[in-house]
Structure formats: C-alpha cells, structure tokens
Structure 1
C-alpha cells in the first residue's frame, strides 16, 4: 500500500476519535456510513454499529482513544487496499468533520504518539478523562 494511503488511514483514525465527543460526530458518522454504503448496504450497517460501539467504548473509558484510533486506522487501510478509489471521499469526510471542530477545546480527545515524561511514558491522553501512564 502506498505511503499516502497509509497516512490517510492513520489521519482518518485519529480524526474519527477526535470528533467522538464533539458536535461533529454526526457528520463523520454519516459520512463514513455513506462511504461504506457505496460498497454495500450490509457494510454500511456494520460500520454504523461499529462506529457507535467505538464511541461508547471511548466515552465510557472501556478503550483508550489511541487504541480505538489504531483499530479504525486498520479498517481504513483495509478499505483503501481493496477500494483505493474511495481515498478521496474518505479524505473529504475527514476534512468536513474536523473543520466542524473549531478549536482544541472542542476536541476532548487528543490522539498522538507516545511521549516520554521523566521515567514514565504517556501512552494516550484523554483531556476529558485523564492521562494513561505506563
């Protein structure tokens, strides 16, 4: 898979999680459902359910934002590997949703790489619910 497709899948996974507790959530859920509907209606229903399950998991603390973003990155990589023509639509869904989240304060979840802090390592940071240390 091309590096640009991998980067898009990664960006899409992070953007998805960043919008989960924002007003942009319906935009990204609807956009991704429509994208998968073009592939097949059963896929769209499956994705809608998976999106809601992922959102509940992050909001309830069942999974970290980082883990959920990584899982969706994998889904998006699989999508783009089979349907590379969907890359532009995926990019547009992400742009529309993230542009609806105006400021960092509107993004309750920050998803990024691990960061060292003293002898500890920040694995994931959820500004709405704390930092996970290892």
Structure 2
C-alpha cells in the first residue's frame, strides 16, 4: 500500500473516532457510510451499526477516562479504513474531501498528517517532541 494512502487510513480512523464525541457526529456518520456504500453497498447497514456502537463506546470511555479503549477504537477504525482503501483505491479523493470538510485542521496544503506521540523520561532523561519543526538550543 502506498505510504500516503496508509497515512490517510490512519488519519481517517483517528478523525472518525475523535469526531464521534462531537457535534460533527451525524455528518461524520453520513459521510463515512456514503463512502462505504460506493465500495461495499451490501455492508452499509452493518457499518452504520458499528459506527453507532463505537460512538457509544467512545463516549463511555471518555466519561470514564479510559484512554486505552479510545486508542483501541482508533486503531480498529484505522484498520477498517485501510481495508476499504485496499478494496477500492478510487475512494481516496472522496475520503480526503470528507476529512477536509469535517476537520479542516487535519489538512495543510492538501497534505493529511497523523501525529501520535508518546514519551517517557526517567532519571535525568529529556524528551523533545514536535508535530513539525523543532529547534532546540542548549548551552
């Protein structure tokens, strides 16, 4: 799979799950099911049900402060979107357009980025993380 398409699948899965707990939920659901309908029309009702179930799970996880479940749900939808793009790469532009419409902050000059950072420093260790450019001057 093209690395950009794989990145798009990751970003889309993360965005879908993130937007499930926002006011953009219904637009997200409608957009995702419309794309699925193009590739797997026979699965649209199942996918719609899975979206609804995932939304319930994400709301419960956030209410409980359960970040592990939220991470698992993101990974699950990243995989689903990746498999969808493998089945029909022709929906890449539709998916990008949906992401731009729903969550424009994920798009910069037409590029879609997915940044997830986790770090742990112990003792005198230091961690420097950045989603883009980072300049550090130490004396």
Q: TM-score, normalised by structure 2?
A: 0.70
Match of 2:78 among 73, 78, 87: 73
Residue deviations 1:9-46 (CA, integer Å, cap 9, x gap): 00001111221111111111000111111224321111
Whether contact under 8 Å (1:10, 1:73) holds in the other structure is yes
- The answer to whether the 8 A contact 1:13-1:73 is kept is yes
1:93 to partner: Cα distance: 1.3
- Write 1 or 2 for the structure with the bigger share of strand: 1
Instruction: Give the secondary structure class of the aligned counterpart of 1:115.
Output: coil
Q: How many residues align?
A: 109
- The runs of 5 or more residues in structure 2 that have no matched partner are 106-114, 124-139
Partner SS, residue 22 of structure 1: coil
Say which SS state the counterpart of residue 20 (structure 2) adopts: coil
Moved over 3 A (4+): none
Secondary structure of residue in 2 paired with 1:60? helix
Aligned partner of 2:104 among 91, 99, 102: 99
What stretches of structure 1 of length at least 5 have no aligned partner? 101-110, 120-134
Report what 1:54 is aligned to.
54
Asked whether the equivalents of residues 27 and 96 of structure 1 are also in contact (C-alpha less than 8 Å), the reply is no
Among 102, 113, 118, the alignment partner of 1:114 is: 118
> Alignment RMSD, CA only?
2.1
